Structure 1
Amino acid sequence: FRRSRPWQVSYLSIRDADKVFKFLAATGRIELPRASWIESSGYLEHRAEMVVRALIRDAEPNRNLTDVDKVWLQTWIHGHTDLITKDGNFPFLNAAKREIAQYGHLKIEDVFPQQRFLVIRARPDHPDAWLTNQLISDFVPQDFVSRYVFNKPGFYRDYDGFSDAWRSHVVDVLKTTYLKDKAAFRTRLYGLTD
């Protein structure tokens, strides 16, 4: 990210989620989780689905997921509550959704720094929106769709390590979500217009 004077250079560790988040918030590069955009975008539902799919991948890397639908995912979630609870991201996203529905926003200061990246997106009107979403995708690698949209090198590094079954599944999901209508997908989920 540019500063006003090119000789003013400072670095933040990518491993320090708290400092990275505070920098993005202080410089106006992110949208905090508010009902005004969360409820109409389906953002938390998308993140939750990506979290569950990553847990399935980790638990059963060679499972054929060709015909996975919402009912199958719900059944898998109920049958693997131990994994869901241990990971913590799916319950967190459900709690965030309830809090936003009730209060109109999420108290971000009460959220564990790493999990903050699950519920934020780049401010769509900021000149660094694409770069910010790329950075956010580094903190949420289980969301392979966002990685594909904003961070192709990161996506392909991840893809190289996937099993054949998971690669096939990732391609199917990308075809039926993002690649089906790129502009509409980016507008709905990230507020970006071309």
Structure 2
Amino acid sequence: MHRLIQRGLMFGNLIEVASPILLERYNRALKHLTGKTTNLTDFHIDISGYSPEIGDELEDHLYLNHGGCNRQFILLTTDQKSAPLLNIKFSTSRDILRHFIEENEPQLFALTARDAVAGELVNSVFSVSQPARLLDIRKVTIEADTTEGTLRDAEKLGDLADRFKQEEDGWFDDVLIADMISLAKRTGDVTRNPVSLKHMTFDQEDFWTAHFGGVYVFRGLGHPAAITSGDKADLGKLPIKYIFDFNDRNQIAKFFDYNDLVEPIVKARGIDASAILRQKMDFIVVDAAQDAGVDLTGATRRDIRRLARDHADQLPPEYHGLRQMVDWAENEGKWPRISSDHPAYFYTLRATDTDQADLVNMLLAELAPKDIRQLFICHKEVFYRAYQGWTETKKSFVADFLEREYLADKAGAREALFGHDAPLEMPKVRKRASEDMIARVGPWGAVRR
């Protein structure tokens, strides 16, 4: 993984902690949350305050996320809002933390000038020891305070100030006045400079979780479902009507269709569809070259396409399906009938402009794993796991490509691949003639309930 780290493709944009003041504050917060401290004098943290170096030191990379359910966090600076989230267990966690920091940035800036802010993303459940518990998660609430309890004291001081104003004998209550003075020394004047954070609760309807091999939960849709990258039988009975795994390609395709979640890349507006598909074809060639033991060191795009021409008969069906799609787009060729059974099917799609777009692109990346660019952008956890099993030449090619083609313009690459024009009126869900059949077996066919 050193190749990825050196190129900024792994552990990039982390916040360095090296000053004695920040080290002392971090240790105080770490002790407050976990009862542990670090002996390191220089380390890096992500948006939640997790440090891979401290994880190595403690031999516990979940030291701020015990059980992978209610993630704790340590904020030393509001600059953490731009850092990534490592060891993700729920796909929504980074967005929740970033939104929390942005919504409370002035208050957090003032608080972190004097102390660390420690807190927790509190799920509706405290354990996901069983798959069914995932569906009990409905919301996430943020609880936070400084290690010295500044917010708690400020709230208490506010209550005391109200008593002082409202009680007839407030001016003569020496105990009340003494308590107010004592708290004000720690919090400042809360009447002129209120110290408080917004109470924030987030709905958790649609998400991916790393638990149980990786599960996508879609509940905020007209046709909800859970989709696992493992074996659906391992999940047991879940309180959701439909459960699919990656072997259920037809049902997943119909799930996308019924909820209007995807569109063919070649029919998407405002993008260079042919260029996107040709790049996917190159990635498929690279994958085939790895399997054939071809050395890709220093290979250019021209080299990759020469390999494709010379060995076209040996390339997998994903390549040929995308080639037919490009021929239709560029040369007015015959429309290729690529069904969901075809290995190229999920490579031809991207998410439509819905609230679930990021989650859908994440799922598509895992369903089409040879597209290493989309896999890296949308699902880094799976990318890093796949990377470890590649040959050295493929690792080198992929790292060089991502550094050259993606890191140079992240926003532009994302916009070109996944961006959308102004939202159009969404088409209605198509109706089937036999509604009673749908009621009996569901819109995706007869699957285990």
What TM-score, normalized by structure 2, do the two folds share? 0.38
Give the counterpart of 2:372 among 140, 144, 166: 144
Q: Do 1:186 and 1:192's aligned partners in 2 also have CA atoms closer than 8 Å?
A: no
CA distance in 2, matches of 1:192, 1:33: 12
CA distance in 2, matches of 1:32, 1:81: 24
CA distance in 2, matches of 1:33, 1:154: 23
CA, structure 1 residues 113+26, in 2 after alignment: closer, same or farther (shift >3 Å)?
A: farther
Q: Do 2:347 and 2:368's aligned partners in 1 also have CA atoms closer than 8 Å?
A: yes
Give the counterpart of 2:312 among 77, 81, 94: 81
Larger Rg, first or second structure (1 or 2): 2
Corresponding residue of 1:49: 282
1:181 Cα shift? Answer: 0.9
Percent of matched pairs sharing the same residue: 23
Matches within 5 A, 1:150-165: 150-165=378-393
Q: Please identify which structure carries the higher helix content.
A: 1
Greater RCO (CA < 8 Å, at least 6 residues apart): 1
Give the counterpart of 2:347 among 118, 125, 129: 118
Q: Which amino acid aligns with 1:98?
A: D
CA distance in 2, matches of 1:60, 1:181: 32
Give the secondary structure class of the aligned counterpart of 1:145.
Answer: helix
Corresponding residue of 2:412: 184
CA RMSD of aligned residues (A): 2.7
CA distance in 2, matches of 1:4, 1:119: 23
Matches within 5 A, 1:25-36: 25-36=257-268
Unaligned runs of 5+ in 1: none
CA distance in 1, matches of 2:300, 2:335: 29
Q: Which amino acid aligns with 1:187?
A: E
Q: Do 2:339 and 2:345's aligned partners in 1 also have CA atoms closer than 8 Å?
A: no
CA distance in 2, matches of 1:178, 1:34: 22
Unaligned runs of 5+ in 2: 1-217, 225-238, 422-449
Q: Do 1:108 and 1:116's aligned partners in 2 also have CA atoms closer than 8 Å?
A: no
Give the counterpart of 1:17 among 217, 233, 249: 249
CA, structure 1 residues 134+104, in 2 after alignment: closer, same or farther (shift >3 Å)?
A: farther
1:109 Cα shift? Answer: 6.1
1:192 Cα shift? Answer: 5.8
1:64 Cα shift? Answer: 4.0
CA, structure 1 residues 4+30, in 2 after alignment: closer, same or farther (shift >3 Å)?
A: closer
What TM-score, normalized by structure 1, do the two folds share? 0.83
CA, structure 1 residues 4+188, in 2 after alignment: closer, same or farther (shift >3 Å)?
A: closer
Q: Please identify which structure carries the higher strand content.
A: 2
